[in-house]
A and B are shown apart, each in its own frame.
Chain A
Amino acid sequence: MLKKVPLKTISKSVSSGFSFREKIKNDPNGNIRVIQLKDFENNYTSIGEDCYTVDGTKIKKKYILNSGDILFISKGSNNYALSFYKKDDFPSIASSSLFVIRVDKSVAYPPYIAWYINQKKIQTYLKTNEMGTYVPNINKSTVEQMPIELPTIEKQMLIAKIAELNNKEQNIYHRITELKNIETQQQLLKSISK
């Protein structure tokens, strides 16, 4: 059996997202993109296009996300993770309801870690460690102590790839069902006047 290692030991850093003092307001002229809970789409597997932008002059460089950073939702009851990748040169930061986990890429492949966090084993671990009265919350040390099973990097890549394809399959299914529904309803409506 593969030995489990705490997430901390394979990470360069685990840090909270940028904490805004006030409510985050969209500023169309902003120069930095903020990823919030609301931007998680497709069952928490991708980041949507409608992220808010804000003025970033007061935000330190270290908050800016790189491809391969794992975003982990620490607030609320859906504690999922995804591996962030930069789709353009516009800088992005995470809001404070997220943790940003930077893994050591020589031993861990970020999409694999994100996938692993989303599996039952870790989810159960998180549920038993959550805190908070109204809004469940996962604290930093819980994140750092997540027990991760770490196969070889090649195997990790393979698993992540299959998981991604599986996801894609689901999305296509979903879209087909939706379209079939539209098509059938339309044909039925047409049949009335025939």
Chain B
Amino acid sequence: MNDIKRPTQEQINQTLWNACDTFRGAFDSSEYKNYILVFMFIKYLSDVWKDTYQAYKEQYGDNEELIQRKLNRERFVLPENCTFDYLNEHKNDSDIGEKIDKVLAQIEEKNLEKLDGVFRNISFNSDKLGQTKDRNRRLKNLINDFAKPELDFRPSLWDDKQDILGEAYMYLLERFASGAGKKGGEFFTPKEVSGLLAKLMAPEEGARICDPTCGSASLLIKVAEEATDKEGKPTHNFALYGQESNGDTWALSKMNCFLHGMDSAQIEWCDTINNPQLIEGGSLMKFDVVVANPPFSLDKWGYENAEADRYKRFLRGVPPKSKGDYAFILHMIETTLPTGKVGVIVPHGVLFRGSAEGKIRQKLIEENLLEAVIGLPQNLFYGTGIPAAILVFNKAKKDNRVLFIDASKDYQDGKKQNTLREQDIAKIVDTYKNFKVIDKYSEIVEPKDIADNDYNLNIPRYVDTFEDEEPVDIAAVQEEIDSLEKELLDVRAEMNGYLKELGL
């Protein structure tokens, strides 16, 4: 089977992206992305299923009963007539939409523990996909696209290299995010930024990792992928937790984890601030690593209930009604173990806004929790050009100083968006890990100096990146002006000569 030429990652990505053409025009990308991603997931499940069936068949021959029994103990169980092949055979049926829905329902039913609610919000038989005739045509196209050999996800073809699929899924998410404009940031953090945050967090073996605003879980997965054992080798020994408030995005995050082989991730659906779901024995669950890219300056984040919060997350102060940044930061700090770390992506306002936020910031610094402030280049995120910063909190901080990094000038210029290059990420991570001071780039600051600055964390106050102005030699400038004026006279004289010649 290995002699088949395997499509490259690019080909797969491209084929998937082209499959979206089916829906384009009919409705918005923010809607159809769910259809494509769900369909990709179903295709994946049924390809895996097909493969396993084949393997058992080779092992046990015609003993169908034994095979069925074995199959029922698989990671995912597909009931009869619930495979992609079944849909492919029925693609010309007039009730294909209904058939797909039935398949989804049955798969969910059979794998309730893992897939409960994942397909809840999606219907392939909905009028959203057009009237019956249009809808059937679109679904048929969709099935045809996924039947292409490039999108054969059977693990045996891939030497079990599941990351290719995960990559493809992330690729689609990213493409959708970049096309969705302002809404794009809602479910995806650019992969360079999540990669940077993951490297900064560098989880150890056995770490409990959480993202309280996990979106499509891409950040969470990136962090998990950075987990290493004591010898520095990648490990799969970690536990993932997440929570997401948007139901559709939550479903995407579940599928994303499954496609990355991180089946045990516990991802809850609900608003983290108002209804935290990751609870253990009546209080908040605690983690070794907490990361997030919370919505920037969220309005109406749940101010009303904050004061009386039953988990007492806002004892340091209640953030302002219209800016939820510190609500998320405080939640993250409260859910971190005494040895744990927090890495959070925030808009710059978090560094310097006053009143309630200023007081919270002061407390966090006085408690010696803040470890690093990293300023990122502008225009890295989807749907917003504003520059962001990463705050790192460390509950087991030994030193009482704070590292400031101004990384805002190192990036790859992009047409629509800037990106962090590998060397930019490496420089930040190296500076952070070694607590380095680099001229015009980073600085280690005493808590006293921060207090002197009224707990304002604005990066230029601490890291001087201004280039000295080149001294101007006035005499030389005057000399150049003189010689130019002379030249001007010459040119004019020459011109006059020619003008006369022309008879003017």
User: Which residues of A are interface residues toward B (Cβ below 8 A)?
Assistant: 155, 158-159, 161-162, 165-166, 168-169, 172-173, 175-176, 179-180, 182-183, 186-187
Contact = CB atoms under 8 A, between A and B. Distances in A.
Chain B contact residues, majority secondary structure: helix
B499 A162 contact: yes
B226 to A, nearest CB: 33
Nearest to A187: B474
Contacts of B487: 172
A172 B488 contact: yes
Chain A contact residues, majority secondary structure: helix
Interface string B282-302: 000000000000000000000
Contact of A179 (B484, B491, B501): B484
Interface string B469-504: 000101001101100110110011011001101100
Interface in B434-478: 472, 474, 477-478
A158 B477 contact: no
B498 A161 contact: yes
B484 A162 contact: no
A161 B485 CA distance: 20
Contacts of B472: 182-183, 186
A179 B480 contact: yes
Interface of B: 472, 474, 477-478, 480-481, 484-485, 487-488, 491-492, 494-495, 498-499, 501-502
Given A166-B495, A168-B491, A158 B481 contact: no
Contacts of B499: 162
Nearest to B478: A183
A20 B498 CA distance: 43
Contacts of A158: 498, 501-502
Contacts of A173: 488
Contacts of B484: 172, 175-176, 179
Contacts of B488: 169, 172-173, 176
A172 B491 CA distance: 10
A176 B480 CA distance: 8
A176 to B, nearest CB: 5
Given A162-B498, A162-B502, A169 B481 contact: no
B498 A186 contact: no
Contacts, number: 46
Given A179-B481, A183-B474, 6 more contacts: A172-B487, A176-B481, A179-B477, A182-B472, A183-B477, A183-B481
10 contacts: A158-B498, A166-B495, A168-B491, A169-B492, A176-B484, A179-B477, A179-B484, A183-B474, A186-B477, A187-B474
Contacts of B477: 179, 182-183, 186
A166 to B, nearest CB: 7
3 closest cross-chain pairs (CB), A and B = A165-B495, A186-B472, A162-B498
A161 B500 CA distance: 13
A155 B498 CA distance: 10
Given A169-B488, A176-B485, A159 B502 contact: yes
B502 A155 contact: yes
Contact of A186 (B474, B480, B481, B492): B474
Contacts of A179: 477, 480-481, 484
Nearest to B486: A172
Contacts of B498: 158, 161-162, 165
Q: Please indicate which of the listed interface residues A159, A162, A173, A182 has the most CB atoms of chain B within 10 Å of its own CB.
A: A162
A165 B488 CA distance: 10
Given A175-B484, A176-B484, A179-B480, A165 B494 contact: yes
Contacts of A175: 484
A159 to B, nearest CB: 7
B419 to A, nearest CB: 18
Contacts of A168: 491
Q: Please indicate which of the listed interface residues B477, B491, B501 has the most CB atoms of chain A within 10 Å of its own CB.
A: B491
A187 to B, nearest CB: 7
Contacts of A169: 488, 491-492, 495
A173 B488 CA distance: 8
A180 B481 contact: yes
A182 B469 CA distance: 12
Nearest to B487: A172
Nearest to A161: B498
A159 B501 CA distance: 10
B494 to A, nearest CB: 6
Q: Please indicate which of the listed interface residues A155, A165, A176 has the most CB atoms of chain B within 10 Å of its own CB.
A: A165
A162 B491 CA distance: 10
A173 B502 CA distance: 24
A165 B481 contact: no
Q: Please indicate which of the listed interface residues A155, A172, A173, A182 has the most CB atoms of chain B within 10 Å of its own CB.
A: A172
Contacts of A180: 481
A187 B475 CA distance: 11
Given A179-B480, A182-B477, A186-B474, A165 B491 contact: yes
Contacts of A182: 472, 477
B295 to A, nearest CB: 35
A173 B484 CA distance: 8
A182 B481 CA distance: 11
Contacts of A176: 481, 484-485, 488
A176 B479 CA distance: 11
A180 B485 CA distance: 12
Nearest to A159: B502
A164 to B, nearest CB: 10
Nearest to B488: A172
A124 B286 CA distance: 73
Nearest to B480: A179
